[in-house]
Amino acid sequence: MSAVLERRALHLQDNRSREAHLEANLELLAAAGRRNRVPVPVPRTARPAGSAAESEGILMATAVIETTEAIVENRAERRRAKWIEEHRRYIGGSEIYKLLNLAQYGTGCRTELAFQKLGVEPDFPDTDRDDLLLARGNILEPLVAMLYEQETGRKVRRPAMDADGMPKPKFHPEHPWAGVNTDRIILTGSGGIEETGDLEIKTRSEGPFLRVKRSGPFPGDILQPQWSLFVTGHKWGSLATLGVFGHLPLVHFDVRYDTELQEIFKREGGEFANVVWGKGHVPEPTLDKNDQRCKVCQFRMQCRGEQIDKAEVAMLREITKSKKELVQIDNHDLASTLAAIDMIKGEQKELEESLKNAQETAMQLIGDANAALVRGYGKVYKLESQAHYLDATRLKAEHEELYNEYYVSKKTGNHYLRQYPEKIA
């Protein structure tokens, strides 16, 4: 009975926290309106059309909207600036892949993490993309938590929030450089749960989500609940991933406290904290200078400026000896996009190999059957491959005139890219 009452109290507390946050926003807007003394325009039906009063009312209404938007935007900027400043004091769960130099999202470098923690201005800021992804996650997080409860039968609650409605970070009792904003706490006494756990939430577009279903979570994602366990001391956690497409599919993965990983966190995190916060230094780059992550890094000029300068000289040599006239373009977005294409091609090759291996496995499991009804899946047919093509080599050799008459070669008006990424000597 006490456990039930505890869960109800926590649920009410969570609801009250959200209501208080909403009320605070409404009060802020109302107070701002009073401070600006923006009068409410007379209703349209009470004024003659086209009158001076109508024009004045429209201007007043516009002023109300613009004032409100400015207040909301300024408050959001202040909250974001405060969050960034506080976040510089510790390593969070979403950054652990960077601490371990684990490639993910086209990044993953402890040197980059050090620049960020020391508040260094990036050479090529990309805050818009980061803000959009963060906003998507914040909007969908309550939905994922609700779907997780429905799917597992487990009950979760939001951790404590501060006065601005932002989650309060929890810190490791012995290592103050380790902090976490756990998305949800999984409560005992529900869904067969006997001990408290940590829930981390991710949202993925269709392609990455299907990859997660096929091959499991991204390495950096599965590290996040482990980091949360490292900080909170809980012995198990769960990672829930929502597909942002179709019917919003959800998958989740439970993890146990990994002692070996916790020791790695202590060692690597301690060394990083000693160099960055203890001495105020940026650790030397450990990635190969031609690593794709370095080519799109926001701090690449400060980190590898001398090597990049040498690469610029080499690029000028390439321009002079190229068969086609090369136009040098200095555009960070273009460089990042081209590097992303290279990374996607690598992932595509890996996917094609995985698909080929899976098809071979399915062929072996089907055996001698040419058609089957597979319980839990549906129908499958094993068909013999056939090739249908025109033997152009033979046609040209035996009937060259006919071949030349029907051979077509023309420009389509479309273009494709042939890429040659630079190498830093």
pLDDT of residue 180: 95
pLDDT of residue 342: 77
pLDDT of residue 221: 93
pLDDT of residue 165: 72
pLDDT of residue 64: 63
Rg (CA), the chain: 29
pTM for the complete prediction? 0.65
pLDDT of residue 4: 40
What tokens does 213 get?
């279903």
**Other Cβ atoms closer than 10 A to 5:** 9
Cβ–Cβ < 8 Å for 272, 283: yes
* CATH 3.90.320.10 intervals, the chain: 93-286
Among the four given CATH numbers 3.30.70.2660, 3.30.450.30, 3.90.320.10, 3.30.430.20, the one describing domain 93-286: 3.90.320.10
Mean pLDDT, contiguous 10-residue spans, the chain (425 residues):
43 47 43 41 43 62 64 66 84 94 85 93 72 73 95 94 82 96 94 94 90 89 95 97 92 96 96 95 86 82 69 54 65 76 76 82 89 88 85 88 85 78 60
Listed in order, strand segments (DSSP E) in 234-348 are 236-243, 250-256
pLDDT of residue 132: 67
The H or E element spanning position 348 is: helix 332-366
Please write the tens of the pLDDT for every residue from 305-360.
Answer: 766 555 554 555 555 555 666 666 777 778 777 777 877 777 777 778 878 888 88
Taking each helix axis from N to C end, the angle separating 219-232 and 259-273, rounded to the nearest 10 degrees, works out to: 80
pLDDT of residue 81: 76
Q: For residue 41, report the phi and psi dihedrals to the nearest 5 degrees.
A: -65, 150
**Other Cβ atoms closer than 10 A to 371:** 10
pLDDT of residue 310: 58
Please write the tens of the pLDDT for every residue from 151-164.
Answer: 999 999 999 888 77
